A and B are shown apart, each in its own frame.
Chain A
Amino acid sequence: MSEPVESARRPSDIYFFATCVVDQFFPGAGMDAITLLEREGIRVHFPEEQTCCGQPAYTSGFPDEARRVAAHQLTLFPEDWPVVVPSGSCAGMMKHHYPTLFAADPQRKAQAEALSARIHEFTDFLVNVLGWQPQDRGGDCTVVLHTSCSARREMGVHLTGRRLLGDLKNVRVATQDHEAECCGFGGTFSVKQPEISGAMVEDKVKALKATGAELVVSADCGCLMNILGHAAWQDEQAGRTTPSLPGEHIASFLLRRTGGAQ
């Protein structure tokens, strides 16, 4: 987790690394994160050349391919600004695995280490760098938070999402059974071991629904893709037309609760 910075060191500019999942599947979440940061007075820079952190290949046992893709991302952030990533999983890849990935390449290793120090998961950045305290402008509502395993175990930022939700005075945050357990996504795991992954997401959705929350929020779109995809599949099977478990990225929820773009 980042150390809190004094307001004098509050960054005026940041880079936004959207991740390929947000760019292609959850663009609204990326847009909301950027809007929120801008509303808080930060200039957000989105390097157009960005693609993917390389994690899918890395975790599947193809480090050479991951390295090639990661090497490209190393070139995208020339200024010494923080790099904010709306995903604990991709942030974890860039912060913790890039230095290992380039261990045999001194020049890139140094670049990776310098970048690593500037990588911030979105909620961690809001809490520990900006010291942001959201002012709730919404009505009463109950939500449940799902934290990705990378956010929890690799980035140690499972507390920042909870802290932000806790600051919203009209929002009750429900706690699900087996909260710390994986939702079963795991990238290619979900298709290589579909039976086990299916059982895991089934249990996760059951636990989330059992809280009675209106909404599940998460700081990781990979998990959301899995959780919401399963909940929607259940709805289809049951012939329901309204989603039994709606969900969104925590950035969208926070933006909406705190007055939107204004």
Chain B
Amino acid sequence: MSEHTLHFRPADGFRARSKAVVDNPFLRQSFRGAMDFLMAKRAAQFPDPEELESLRSLGEAIRQYNLAKLPDLLLQLESRLTANGVKVHWAETPDEANAIILGIVQGHGATKMVKGKSMVSEEIELNHAAEAAGIEALESDMGEYIVQLAGEKPSHIIMPAIHKTKEEIARLFHEKVPGVDYTDNVDALIQIGRDVLRRKFLEAEIGLSGVNFAVAETGTLCLVENEGNGRMCTTAPAIHIAITGIEKIVEKLEHVPPLYSLLTRSATGQNISTYFNMISGPRQPGEKDGPEEVHLVLLDNGRSQAYADEQLRKTLQCIRCGACMNHCPVYSRIGGHAYGTTYPGPIGKIVSPHLLGLDATAGLTTASSLCGACGEVCPVKIPIPELLMRLREEAFSAPRANPVMRGQGAGYSPLISAIWRAWAVVYQSPALYRMVSWLGSRLGGFLPSRQGAWTSVRTPLRPAPKRLRDMLRERG
């Protein structure tokens, strides 16, 4: 199920990958069970619909306020961080981000890196770049560690190994970790992982982490985590490198608590996470611990394209809680790997086209019934169905000059567009509609019994012999 090719087209093979999961009763049940569990946990956190609604409105307002000031806030963040002794780097592309990070690592002659959970590092495929440069990049979040051992990618942005059973993990540890006997005792498995990682935290020269919120007024990087590995990565090694997308910024410290609360409650159904790290700079003279150097890499990778359009900008409100995935009837049927993108599920479908271009992702925009479950649970009120419809338009319309999005028109089909034009001609003309629907009612019984994909699991559609308008006319 894992995809390892760089620069591939996730939309290619999406149907085949989703079919493989849908046809596997074990996987289907396993995803369903996991998503049901997460939905129940979230629901228990928000017993009062009115409180939830006002919190969501607050979350939305905070994100929109900060996005509106994003260019200024980025400069403010840079200057505050620089004053705090943090080195700030700007990367437009994944390649640039990798070059910056590996440049820092190699500049120190380092060869060992431990990583806290960071989806942006997945987005730039840092582990591959590090491996190619002869640098060990070890994932220290338990879920990430498991998928790395398995040679896979995360299938969920919060729970990377949610597609794996404890038996699979037991076999994996037995095969891949030297000297480990088979056990499917979960506590024992966690202890095995901890033993391996504990040594790595002490050995690594470089710690890498993501960022949940970057606070511009104070130059503070906030990191939300449950395992303590994030704190280890950002304090034990001599060099800490943080990487984040340019949209994760808030102006004020006071913006953080509401977003943090929405994040943990929506993501894992926790009141608060076990750890909350606030990193404002390297070790100061006289301090006994902390990294000697702290770097922040700010990545664009298509975000400024989304930013430039008023409607598409809402994509950047995301705080990466994953609730949209947990509640998505498509994600819960096919799991994260089927999407072939770093970010799967509803948020993945609206973010990935900016990261990878519509030429690589046009087909993914159709993988939604627009049921609206994602938009309903989004803690910052991203109108995901509305954005999906917009992306469909960008993908399937004829290529235009100066498009808003990379790959606009990639899904354009002259035939399909002609069919929709013809459809509009019929349905905007009462006379033509009357004629076509009358023909349908006459010919209904003669329509083929095989009607493409519709009849793969359904009986054929046949117009009724009399239309409602015929029945009304006969009744008089």
Contacts and interface: CB of A to CB of B under 8 A. Distances in A.
Contacts of A34: 472
A24 B333 contact: no
A58 interface: yes
Nearest to A89: B370
Interface in A235-261: 236
B468 A72 contact: no
B334 to A, nearest CB: 6
Given A31-B472, A56-B423, A153 B463 contact: no
Give the size range of A's interface with the partner. 35 or more
B461 A229 contact: yes
B396 A25 contact: no
A114 interface: no
A232 B461 CA distance: 11
Contacts of B369: 149, 182, 184-187, 189-190, 197, 200
Given A56-B423, A69-B427, A182-B369, A194 B392 contact: no
A50 B454 CA distance: 26
B125 interface: no
Contacts of A22: 468
A201 B457 contact: yes
A25 B15 contact: no
A233 B397 contact: no
B371 A153 contact: yes
A192 interface: yes
B22 A60 contact: no
B87 interface: no
A233 B427 contact: no
A20 B436 CA distance: 12
Contacts of A193: 15, 18, 330, 366-367
Interface string A186-215: 111111111111111110000000000000
A190 B461 CA distance: 13
Nearest to A61: B392
B428 interface: yes
B440 A24 contact: yes
Contacts of B467: 23-24, 27
Given A25-B461, A186-B371, A194 B424 contact: no
A225 B424 contact: no
A65 B458 CA distance: 28
Nearest to A153: B372
Point out which of B15, B371, B428, B437 has the most chain A C-beta atoms below 10 A from its C-beta: B371
A195 B15 contact: yes
Interface size class of B (residues with CB under 8 A): 35 or more
A23 B373 contact: no
Nearest to A57: B420
Contacts of A184: 329, 369
A236 B427 contact: no
Given A25-B461, A68-B424, A193-B367, A199 B28 contact: yes
B330 A196 contact: yes
B358 to A, nearest CB: 11
Interface in B431-470: 433, 437, 440-441, 452-459, 461-464, 466-470
Contacts of A200: 329-330, 333, 369
A232 B366 contact: no
B392 A60 contact: yes
B419 to A, nearest CB: 10
Contacts of B463: 24-25
Nearest to B396: A61
Interface string B415-430: 0010011011011111
B155 to A, nearest CB: 16
A58 B468 contact: no
A182 B470 CA distance: 32
A189 B392 CA distance: 12
Interface string B289-307: 0000000000000000000
Given A191-B453, A233-B457, A236-B459, A153 B464 contact: no
Interface centre among B334, B372, B466 (most CB of A within 10 A): B372
A81 interface: no
Given A24-B463, A149-B371, A31 B471 contact: yes
A184 B454 CA distance: 12
Contacts of A199: 22, 28, 333
Interface of B: 15, 18-19, 22-23, 28, 329-330, 333-334, 365-373, 375-376, 389, 391-397, 417, 420-421, 423-424, 426-430, 433, 437, 440-441, 452-459, 461-464, 466-472
Interface of A: 18, 20, 22-28, 30-31, 34, 46, 48-52, 54, 56-66, 68-69, 71-72, 149-150, 152-154, 180-182, 184-202, 225-226, 229-230, 232-233, 236
Given A194-B456, A232-B459, 7 more contacts: A31-B471, A57-B423, A153-B371, A193-B366, A195-B15, A200-B329, A233-B459
20 contacts: A20-B437, A23-B468, A24-B463, A27-B464, A27-B470, A28-B471, A51-B426, A56-B423, A57-B420, A58-B389, A59-B389, A65-B420, A72-B429, A149-B369, A153-B376, A181-B329, A186-B371, A187-B369, A193-B366, A194-B457
